[in-house]
């Protein structure tokens, strides 16, 4: 169980580094906010160890709105395990 959780964390952080690295010089729009918000927890773990950004420095109003929505929903989903129950019910036959 613990090994599965640690493996998930390592894979999530690696994918976050590859797909959701935040450039401090770039201005992001609403889609960037959605993407960065969905990857908030892996970026937070990366931030603890490397000091990377969890939210862009330059962003639009849409970025801020969608970042907060995606951050809250992805955090709730992680804590409650909502995605896991959907996956298990899909593959049960």
The domain locations on the chain are 26-84
Q: What is the pTM of this model?
A: 0.73
pLDDT at 33: 92
How buried is 38 (Cβ within 10 angstroms: 0-12 exposed, 13-18 middle, 19+ buried)?
buried
User: What is the distance of C-alpha 15 from the center of its chain?
Assistant: 10
pLDDT at 37: 92
- Across the range 68-92, mean pLDDT stands at 74
SS3 1: coil
pLDDT at 62: 94
pLDDT in tens, 2-58: 888 888 888 888 887 788 788 889 999 999 999 999 989 888 888 888 888 889 999
């Amino acid at each position: 169980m613990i090994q599965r959780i640690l493996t998930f964390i390592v894979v999530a952080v690696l994918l976050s580094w590859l797909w959701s690295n935040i450039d401090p010089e770039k201005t992001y729009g609403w889609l960037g906010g959605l993407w960065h918000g969905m990857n908030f927890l892996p970026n937070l773990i990366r931030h603890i160890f490397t000091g990377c950004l969890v939210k862009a420095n330059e962003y639009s109003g849409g970025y801020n709105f969608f970042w907060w929505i995606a951050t809250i929903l992805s955090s709730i989903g992680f804590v409650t395990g909502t995605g896991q129950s959907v996956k298990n019910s899909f593959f049960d036959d």
